[in-house]
């Protein structure tokens, strides 16, 4: 078991090194200050506290993800609900339907877009990286301002007035 964990971690690190190099070559700056790790995700700041954009390498593909993960569940759900209320606008800007996961039984919520491929097959990596590069740019462009607006509105609704 420990050996397979080491192999999986090395595989992920190799993938993220390749991915970050490809992003840098394409001028994608969102992950420019992020180092490759051995987890199945990389996170980068969205400009909104505790709401990172993430890339996910999965056994069956890849994903771009927004995690609304602040300290308080109610704040996360309010930010998520404000984003969800703008779902049509966000999806139109993104160009595809997104997977909206409120996750009522969890503290955080997510917005996800996935692709299917063999994430553990090195030969599939260029295709996965190309997909991630295209979609993280679209994802960030579609979500950054609505996310900032939602977080600002959530904060304003909490302030005594």
* Secondary structure (DSSP) of the chain: -HHHHHHHHHHHHHHHHHHHHHHHHHT--TTTT----SSSEEEE--SSTT--EEEEEETTEEEEEEEE--S-HHHHHHHHHHHHHTHHHHHHHHTS--EEE--TTSS-EEEEEEEES-TT-GGGHHHHHHHHHHHHHHHHHHHHHHHHHHHHHHHHHHS--
The per-residue pLDDT of the chain, averaged, comes to 95
For residue 98, pLDDT over 80 is answered with yes
**155 pLDDT band (50/70/90 cuts)?**
confident
Q: Which residues is 54 bridged to in the sheet?
A: 43, 65
pLDDT at residue 1, as a whole number: 53
Confidence of residue 87 (pLDDT cuts 50, 70, 90): very high
Closest to 83 (Cα-Cα) out of 26, 130, 153, 17: 153
Q: What is the mean pLDDT of residues 91-115?
A: 98
Q: Are 128 and 57 in contact (CB under 8 A)?
A: yes
Residue whose token pair is 């740019």:
137
Q: Name the token pair of 54.
A: 């993430």
Give me the percent of the chain exceeding a pLDDT of 90: 91
Q: What is the pLDDT of residue 160?
A: 58
Q: What backbone phi and psi angles, to 5 degrees, belong to 121?
A: -100, 110
pLDDT at residue 130 in the model: 98
Q: Distance between CA atoms of 95 and 36, rounded to whole angstroms?
A: 29
- For tokens 């069956």, the residue is 60
43-59 mean pLDDT? 97
3 pLDDT higher than 80: no
Confidence band, pLDDT 50/70/90 cuts, at residue 15: very high
Is residue 30 within 8 A of residue 46, CB to CB? The reply is no
């Amino acid at each position: 078991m420990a050996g397979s964990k080491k192999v999986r971690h090395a595989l992920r690190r190799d993938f993220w090194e390749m991915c970050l190099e490809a992003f840098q070559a394409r001028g994608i700056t969102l992950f420019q200050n992020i180092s490759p790790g051995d987890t199945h995700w990389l996170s980068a700041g969205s400009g909104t506290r505790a709401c990172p954009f993430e890339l996910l390498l999965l056994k069956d593909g890849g994903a771009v993800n927004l995690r609304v993960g602040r300290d308080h569940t109610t704040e996360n759900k309010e930010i998520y609900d404000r984003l969800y209320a703008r779902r049509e606008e966000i999806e139109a800007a993104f160009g595809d339907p997104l997977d909206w996961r409120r996750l009522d039984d969890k503290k955080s919520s997510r917005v996800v877009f996935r692709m299917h491929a063999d994430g553990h097959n090195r030969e599939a990596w260029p295709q996965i990286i190309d997909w991630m590069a295209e979609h993280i740019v679209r994802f960030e462009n579609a979500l950054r301002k609505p996310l900032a607006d939602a977080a600002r509105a959530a904060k304003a609704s909490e302030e005594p007035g």
